[in-house]
Amino acid sequence: MATVEIYYYPEAGGSLIRVPLTRRLSRLEEIDTVDAEDASNGYLSTSRAFRGVRRRIRVTIDRVNWMVADGKSLHRALVPVIQHLRNGGVIGLTLDNTKTYAGYIAGSISQGASNYNFGGNAFSVWPSATCAPASGDEVVISTPPLYGKYERRLVGSVTPSSYGFYYVGFNGETLAYNYESPSMLRWHGFWPALKLPQDSLNSPPITNEHGISWSLDLTLEEDPAVYYLSGDEYERRPRILSTLGGTTAYSPGSRFTIDEALGNVFGGQSRITPARSR
């Protein structure tokens, strides 16, 4: 049975924790914000300086009964998740834990192509069972927000290649853009790296009604660094993130959290950095 699930690593060098959301989401919507500025000349012709899209989603669960054991248990499970986000950490979120897959491009693809070179599920240690693209899945193909490429396609076929990646064919559809690394294909209901934006830090994510019921209201933003875990445009090869830690214990230094992996992309440190250590 499909379950909405959160994935996160509360400790640096620690193990993955899965949090199944045992209550139905009352809302999940994309609420992107665009960073752009328009300028007009004397002829009223306009040019736009585009600086990317902050890809955001809003997740809500309404009125969970706080008087029953299951409602109390879910609330307790979410408290450290929220604290992790406040500390600067990221979480993964899937609407179906049998479809938890996202992977990076292998090589490059031209506009009008009817397939995507999928390097495999980079987050294969997160779901409890094997997840991969399948016919009938709706997938998102995108680039980092700075480049602004984003589209949805319906999978028609999945064929292994002799180079170690998969040709994900689309059902009578073709790509609108050219793609090369960094680029990602993911199931449309899976976000591997979501953070709490600064303008949401002081909005209470959990509210309650007289201690009888509680509600969750979270606005989360995609972390652009997740695209660069596959390497840059000069490193065009399939990439499975085999160093991501799973739910079992492992020796220090042999596995990493998603926060550590993202931190290594741009700054060489975990996303979670206490002020006293800066």
Q: Write out pLDDT tens, residues 135-190.
A: 999 999 999 887 889 999 999 999 988 777 889 999 999 999 999 888 999 999 99
State residue 238's pLDDT score.
Answer: 42
Q: Classify residue 233: in a domain, yes or no.
A: yes
State residue 233's pLDDT score.
Answer: 47
Domain count for the chain, please give it. Answer: 1
Q: Classify residue 42: in a domain, yes or no.
A: no
Q: Classify residue 24: in a domain, yes or no.
A: yes
Q: Classify residue 131: in a domain, yes or no.
A: yes
Q: Classify residue 43: in a domain, yes or no.
A: no
What is the per-residue burial (b if ≥16 Cβ within 10 Å, else e) of 1-19? Answer: eeebbbbbbbebbbebbbb
Give the chain's largest Cα–Cα span: 67
Q: Is the pTM value of this prediction over 0.95?
A: no
CA 13 to chain centre: 20
State residue 75's pLDDT score.
Answer: 94
Give residue 69's domain range. Answer: 5-34+52-272
Q: Classify residue 251: in a domain, yes or no.
A: yes
The CA distance from 131 to 147, in Å, is 28
**Structure token pair of residue 58:** 């809003």
Among 146, 89, 10, smallest CA distance to 269 is for 89
> Residue ranges of the chain with pLDDT lower than 70?
1, 231-243, 248-255, 264-278
Among 24, 158, 182, 2, smallest CA distance to 94 is for 2
Torsion of CA 246, 6, 267, 119, to 10 degrees: 60
